[in-house]
Amino acid sequence: MTEQETINRLNAQFPFARAVSPRRMRVFTDFMPPRQFEAVLRFARDELGYGKGEHIVGTDEGEDLGFSYIVSNGETLLVIREKVPKADPRVRSQYALYPSLLMHERELVDLFGADMRELPPGPSYPLPDGWPKGEYPLRKEWNPAYFNKNTMRYEPPEGGGEAKT
């Protein structure tokens, strides 16, 4: 299936996804809330043939967290994007659809604080044992200068300090 066929089918079935192709062999959707995201992801796998989970990219979008699931059909990469409030980052694991993305979902938990529902039990990844709970090093407000590697504690100055940009 070509990128244009993918765009046409996605936009016909899910106009809110607003699929576009910024360049050859790439298709991106807009960010969507979890229920819409899940419907589009399942449709991409079951109806469009995007059966291989390639990667997940997490981003801090200010008040929200963005999760971009990258799947392929062997020729074209399809990036289906989900957005959740940073204050309540509940999402459902897509491990059942794409088992190859398991460790990528664990990264979203460790690095961004995603509350990943239905994620199979397993080790923390990629942060080391003893990493402080509630500290998510890829969020914009987290400042690496305040992390004490000797004590494994996050120690911002009184008043909180400012995030490093």
CA dist 84 to 54, 104, 132, 147, 154, Å? 21, 17, 23, 26, 25
The superfamily in CATH containing domain 3-126 is NADH:ubiquinone oxidoreductase Nqo5 subunit (3.30.460.80)
The residue-averaged pLDDT of 46-75 equals 98
Band the pLDDT of 26: cuts 50, 70, 90: very high
Residue 66 pLDDT more than 80? yes
Band the pLDDT of 164: cuts 50, 70, 90: very low
**Average confidence score pLDDT of the chain:** 94
Residue 136 pLDDT more than 90? yes
What residue ranges do the domains of the chain occupy? 3-126, 128-165
Question: What does pTM read for this prediction?
Answer: 0.92
